[in-house]
């Protein structure tokens, strides 16, 4: 009965998929729904055929044993070709949605350097020219988590943001359930994807790759705000001194080894 509450009614419509926050996530949700609908239709047809055969061809006490046909060539051709065609259709739609979600041909409004390190996250924001002047010419503002502090990733609404993903140590995985996408953060390799948030709000993010003993601490928050609030956030970072000439990409610039510093002390 708890699963039928009004709070979960929308999840039934999405087949338990999170409500997409981004434009790209809508394509993923459409693929997810379509796959479930196709699977349910196939299941109903198969279950119906099974039930029909059980009832129609059941053996009665006065029946003789029916002819035991060794094979039925048309039927065997059908149940060989039909699943292959279904797989081809699923594959084609998956590739189509993948190309939409990973499309980087659109020039982003900003590119944020995301660093996954043991065991937290660092977000490097490029500064617009007017805010860069306020920062003394330094080009980036940053937000870095510690063992006792969960960082917040701030994004402007209705603007396209590209994430450049790097790691100085082991493989992590950057994901936000509301984005309906996650991607590995691999040492020595720069992966990237971009999103266009379509509504403001606060969302949860985390590392989806078991990356070490403190993997559970690799959490972050996402806050989607208006473009004006985003600019105000960057200016606040500048005022607080969280600026640098280059993005903090790892090593001694971005390390949060848990337990090496006292509670609350930045590392």
Domain annotation for the chain: domains and CATH numbers? 10-101 (1.10.287.90), 110-253 (2.60.40.420)
End-to-end CA distance of the chain: 47
CA pair distance 212, 203, nearest whole angstrom: 24
Q: How confident is the model at residue 89 (pLDDT cuts 50, 70, 90)?
A: very high
Q: What is the pLDDT of residues 31-53, one digit of tens each?
A: 999 999 999 999 999 999 999 98
Q: What is the pLDDT of residues 181-196, one digit of tens each?
A: 999 999 988 899 999 9
Q: Find the radius of gyration of the CA atoms of the chain.
A: 26
Count of C-beta atoms within a 10 Å radius of residue 40: 11
Q: What is the pLDDT of residue 66?
A: 67
CA pair distance 46, 39, nearest whole angstrom: 10
CA pair distance 153, 254, nearest whole angstrom: 16
Phi-psi region at 112: left, alpha or beta (left = phi > 0; alpha = psi -120 to 50):
beta
Beta bridge partners of 116: 121
Greatest Cα-to-Cα distance within the chain, rounded to the nearest angstrom: 97
Beta bridge partners of 176: 181
Report the SS3 class of residue 131.
helix
Q: What is the pLDDT of residue 51?
A: 94
Q: Is the pLDDT of residue 202 over 80?
A: yes
> Any idea which of 13-22, 146-155, 247-256 has the lowest mean pLDDT?
247-256
- Residues above pLDDT 90, as percent of the chain: 62
Tokens 């996530």 belong to: 25
Q: What mean pLDDT is predicted for residues 213-225?
A: 94
Per the structure block, which two tokens stand in for 53?
Answer: 């055969």
Q: What is the pLDDT of residue 27?
A: 93
């Amino acid at each position: 009965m708890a699963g039928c509450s009004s709070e979960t009614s929308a999840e039934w419509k999405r087949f338990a998929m999170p409500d997409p926050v981004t434009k790209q996530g809508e394509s993923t949700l459409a693929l997810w729904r379509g796959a479930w609908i196709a699977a349910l239709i196939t299941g109903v047809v198969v279950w119906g055929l099974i039930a029909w055969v059980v009832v129609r061809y059941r053996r009665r006490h006065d029946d003789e044993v029916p002819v035991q046909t060794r094979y039925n060539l048309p039927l065997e051709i059908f149940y060989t070709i039909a699943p292959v065609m279904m797989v081809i259709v699923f594959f084609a739609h998956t590739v189509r949605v993948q190309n939409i979600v990973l499309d980087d041909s659109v020039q982003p409004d900003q590119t944020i350097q995301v660093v996954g390190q043991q065991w937290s996250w660092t977000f490097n924001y490029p500064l617009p020219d007017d805010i860069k002047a306020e920062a003394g010419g330094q080009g980036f503002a940053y937000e870095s988590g510690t063992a006792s502090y969960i960082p917040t990733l701030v994004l402007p609404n209705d603007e396209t943001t590209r994430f450049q993903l790097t790691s100085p140590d082991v493989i992590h995985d950057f994901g936000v359930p509301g984005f309906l996408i996650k991607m590995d953060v691999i040492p020595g390799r720069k992966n990237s994807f971009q999103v266009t948030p379509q509504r403001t709000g606060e969302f949860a993010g985390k590392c989806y790759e078991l990356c070490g003993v403190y993997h559970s601490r690799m959490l972050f928050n996402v806050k989607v705000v208006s473009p004006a609030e985003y600019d105000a956030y960057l200016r606040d970072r500048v005022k607080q001194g969280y600026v640098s000439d280059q993005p903090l990409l790892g090593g001694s610039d971005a390390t949060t080894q848990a337990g090496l510093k006292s509670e609350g002390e930045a590392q």
